[in-house]
Amino acid sequence: MSDRFVVLSGCSGGGKSTLLAELRRRGHATVDEPGRRIVQEESADGGTALPWIDRAAFARRAIEVALADREEARERPGWVFFDRSLVDAASALEHVAAEPVLERLGLLHRYHPTVFLTPPWPEIFHSDPERRHGWDEAAAEYERLARAYPELGYRVVVLPKASVKERADGVLAELSGDPR
């Protein structure tokens, strides 16, 4: 377990990447979302592990990338903020392929005990070339994650629908009592 690894998860299109960029701007180590990196790699290489072609293969790749990200992050000092986590990838695989991996992986590879979720926020949600799914799928994903994290023993803080500065200030304030 690494209590220095802080997860930003939640609704797709809810502002996680923008928040991650703000935390990076403030000098914190960050890890970009595995899914977007996989989509970029698979699209460039003509691969099929894409959520709109083979969702199970995509989720399996996301698990591999999340595990590699955790290993690489061990070398970084201080807080390391992750845009999504192994829990997100395992939850997705269970959802699309009914492979029971969430509990095993989620308990074996722990993150900071507090996880920050971005709630569904239709006013800022939009699709793009790497996020082709619609609002209903994004909201359903949020509901799955809002259940998965507490089931694995994490304390969930739902971030307010606020400016990125306010969200970053809130995340850091929430962690300020933690000596790490």
Kindly list the domain boundaries of the chain, sorted by start residue.
5-175
Q: What is the mean pLDDT of the chain?
A: 88
Residue 180's pLDDT band, with cuts at 50, 70 and 90, is: very low
Predicted pLDDT at 124: 61
Helices (H), the chain: 16-25, 34-45, 55-73, 86-97, 102-108, 135-151, 164-175
Q: What is the pLDDT of residues 68-114, one digit of tens each?
A: 999 999 999 999 999 999 999 999 999 989 888 988 888 889 999 99
Residues whose CB is less than 8 angstroms from the CB of residue 70 and which lie 6 or more positions away in sequence, other chains included: 2, 5, 86, 109
- Separation in Å, CA 62 to CA 36, 76, 83, 161: 10, 21, 12, 27
Percent of the chain with pLDDT over 90: 59
Mean pLDDT, range 52-75, rounded to an integer: 93
Band of pLDDT at residue 125, cut at 50, 70 and 90 = low
Summarised one tens digit per residue, pLDDT across range 15-55 is 899 999 999 999 999 999 998 899 888 888 989 888 888 99
pLDDT(130) > 70: no
Looking at residue 150, its pLDDT comes to 96
Residue (of 5, 157, 14, 153) closest to 67 by Cα position: 5
CATH of 5-175, one of 3.40.462.10, 3.30.2130.10, 3.40.50.300, 3.40.350.10: 3.40.50.300
Q: Which two tokens stand for residue 91?
A: 């939850």
